[in-house]
Amino acid sequence: MKNQNTLTTFSHELKNSLTLIYSQIQYIEQTHPELSQDVYWSGMKADFSSVFDMVRQMLSPVSDASATLEPVDLNALLEEIRCSWSLRLNECKIRFSVQTEDSSPYYVKGSKTKYLQIFNNLISNGVNAICRKKEASREPLISVHLSREGDFIVCSLSDTGIGMTKEQQSRAFYRGVSFVPKGNGIGLSVVSEIARELDISIHMDSALNQGTTFTLIFPCLADTAR
């Protein structure tokens, strides 16, 4: 109970602090209207809004996850994520590629905030895996492929990083398990928990020094199924 109260208090105070920061961001934009044309400023605002929404959901008294479900276009979402990660990817000299079968939207039903959590954690893992690889035998690359298969949308996210052994793969989604120095073992467990909540199947295939591929299977909206 004490830990729960501490977490609730922390989340509440964090929300208050984020509210103040957001007010300052709005003031800066009002006094410097030219910033609205800056792609990095817009990306920073979008990222901040996502964090704010995440904290707000944590504090929401509504426990039913369906209350926050909405149509989300995965293709558009991945473009947002590409912009958010562009500076970090450029710094690490990692190419980010998104491929689709066609240019039409890939709509799934869920929570945009939680989908951002999934992809940001997977991309963060990919970046770390590539940076930890001592010999760059392959191009530093994170690639995403979207396809439609019947009533599902299949998303494959691959990296050319250090990869994992079979034993590491068997424990990768356990909370608190990390194979990275000073890692907290939270990222992939969050991905797994959200996937279960939103009826997303997730599979992992990895080979040491070759890279890792995560395959996510989303139920698509009825009018977009093929």
Q: Does 208 score more than 80 pLDDT?
A: yes
pLDDT digits (tens, 9 = 90+) for 116-159: 889 989 998 999 899 888 776 678 999 999 999 999 999 999 99
Q: Which superfamily does 66-224 belong to?
A: Histidine kinase-like ATPase, C-terminal domain (3.30.565.10)
Q: Flag the least confident range among 48-52, 179-183, 220-224.
A: 220-224
How many residues are recorded in the chain? 226
DSSP letters for 142-208: EEEEEEEETTEEEEEEEE-S----HHHHHHTTSTT--SSTT--S-HHHHHHHHHHHTT-EEEEEEET
d(CA 67, CA 197): 13
Residue 222: band (very low, low, confident or very high) from pLDDT cuts 50, 70, 90 = low
More confident residue, 196 or 15: 196
Residue 40: per-residue pLDDT? 83
pLDDT at position 5: 61
pTM given for the model: 0.75
Residue 170: CB atoms within 10 A of its CB come to 12
- pLDDT given for residue 226 in this prediction: 54
Do the Cβ atoms of 186 and 175 come closer than 8 Å?
yes
- Whether the pLDDT of residue 224 is over 60: the answer is no
Over pLDDT 90: what percentage of the chain?
A: 38
pLDDT digits (tens, 9 = 90+) for 96-123: 999 999 889 999 988 888 898 899 899 9
Confidence of residue 67 (pLDDT cuts 50, 70, 90): very low
What is the arithmetic mean of pLDDT over 171-180? 82
Listed by start position, the domains of the chain span: 2-61, 66-224
pLDDT at 62: 45
* Contact status, residue 163 vs residue 209, Cβ threshold 8 Å: yes
What local confidence, expressed as pLDDT, does residue 63 receive? 43
